[in-house]
Structure 1
Amino acid sequence: MNYILLFLAVVIGYIVALFLKKKEMRNMEVFLAFSGGFLLSITVFELLPHVFEDHSKSIGVYIMLGILLQIFLEFFSKGAEHGHIHLHSENKHFPWILFISLGIHAFMEGFPISEENNLLTAIIIHKVPVAIILSFFFITAGYRKSTTLLFLFFFALMTPLGNYLSTHYDFFHQYETPITAIVIGIFLHVSTTILFESSKNHKFNLSKMTAVILAVIIAYFI
């Protein structure tokens, strides 16, 4: 069921994008702010205490590696993980560089998902607006429908694949804590970037701030 839900998050994003107009995309900033606040909260409330149970200083190193990995990936994805799409619209070929960088990100975020945490909900909330923005860009930029659907199909598979491998292979169980710490670093970078971009020019935005506060409260009590 987890795999299906993760896959459907991208499908829902594509369907919603088919009916959106450009001016309506502004509302996505509030949804993104909520998803960033929720993802950050789940990371802080649930994942961080889990990996620091052994009080190992090396965990901090893995978290920093995750942050650096995400920074490296964003050189190629141009920030698509947090709602920014920058592609050359005149190039209608399959965007391999974007797919590989987003695929690695999506693959990694599936590893810590388990019944012991609420990360599944956080990932779904994170994926839907990103999928909407990705789909909307491909549609409005004039990419072929086959290219758009192929990209989204494989993108939708990556997180369930990461979760499947972490669940069914002992190798990943052995390195569960370091891998989770790396993913925490990725989440910290992505979620804080979303929150920072939600207050552009350091201007206060009541709707976005409300969305973030609501996300933190919900994440704490679920």
Structure 2
Amino acid sequence: MIYLLPLLSVILGYGVALILKPSNKKSLKLLLAFSGSFLLSLTVMHLLPEVYESSMQGHEGHDHGHEHTHNNIVGIYIMAGIVFQIILEYFSKGAEHGHVHASSHDHDHEHSNAMPWLLFLSLCIHALLEGMPVSHHNDLAWGIAVHHFPIAIILTAFFINSGLNKSAIFLFMMVFAAMTPLGTLASGQLHVIGDYYTEISAIVVGILFHISSTIIFESSEGHKFNLAKLLVIILGVIMAYFL
């Protein structure tokens, strides 16, 4: 199930965009706001405490000073994750949080059927890293699935409007869908990744912090929240708490 959820959410989002062609931006923004709130709450309530707990378990018997120093190191990894995500977004144009738009360069190449390789690689790296903590923290699969569903809809619609051919869109979305399960599989099977699970998870916490908080704020025009968005954000928090 932890492998299927993120995979199916992208495939479902791709299918929805391809068949239904949703054009209601308000509904998509509400869905994005919910996904951002749900993902952020899962990160704060579940993944973040687990990262610090595993950090302490790995350093049992050390005095308070050493524990404090190691907590600072975990914090550094979290901040590194935030910075790394900002770097990825420089190349992906913010596609991870549904903020994709065609630049003037894109318009010049519209209908050229050119594969946006930087966007592709950035999203794949992002999705691969997201999947790594799922092997130890299964509930996170739900958060990533909810996060990827509206992103897949927006990405597919963006590629169609940009004139990318259907074969390239299909390939792009299927590889993107496979990245998170691949990250989960690699984390569970490769000892090299397992040995650095705490550090990798801390980096992913930073990535998810940045992604989810950006989604919440960008889902509303001018950073003003109306009642509907406030309610879906609260719903996301409540659902994450009971998961």
TM range (shorter): over 0.9
Report how far residue 115 of structure 1 moved.
5.8
The answer for the alignment partner of 1:123 in structure 2 is 144
Amino acid paired to 1:71: I
Among 128, 153, 167, the alignment partner of 2:188 is: 167
Q: Does 1:64 align with 2:41?
A: no
Other-structure match for 1:215: 236
2:203 equivalent to 1:204: no
Moved over 4 A (4+): none
Distance in 2 separating the partners of 1:139 and 1:177: 39
Bigger radius of gyration, 1 or 2? 2
Q: RMSD value over aligned CA atoms?
A: 1.5
Deviation at 1:142, TM superposition (A): 2.3
- What does 1:38-53 correspond to in 2, within 5 Å? 38-53=38-53
Q: Percent identity?
A: 52
Aligned-partner Cα distance in 2 for 1:221–1:79: 30
Deviation at 1:161, TM superposition (A): 0.9
Q: What is the aligned counterpart of 1:158 among 167, 176, 179?
A: 179
TM-score by length of 1: 0.95
SS of alignment partner, residue 15 of structure 2: helix
Unaligned runs of 5+ in 1: none
C-alpha distance in structure 2 between counterparts of 1:187 and 1:215, whole Å = 15
The code of the aligned residue for 1:33 comes to A
Report deviation, 1:64: 0.3
Which of 176, 184, 205 is equivalent to 1:184? 205
User: 2:93 is aligned with what amino acid?
Assistant: K
Aligned mates of 1:16, 1:165 — CA distance in 2: 29
Deviates more, 1:165-174 or 1:58-67: 165-174
TM-superposition CA deviations, 1:132-189 (whole Å, max 9, x none): 1111111233221011001111111111111110001111111000000000000000
Three-state SS of the structure 1 residue aligned to 2:181 is helix
Structure 2 match to 1:193:
214
**What is the CA-CA distance between 1:116 and the residue it aligns to?**
4.1
Gaps of 5+ in 2: 57-66
Distance 1:103 1:202 in 2: 29
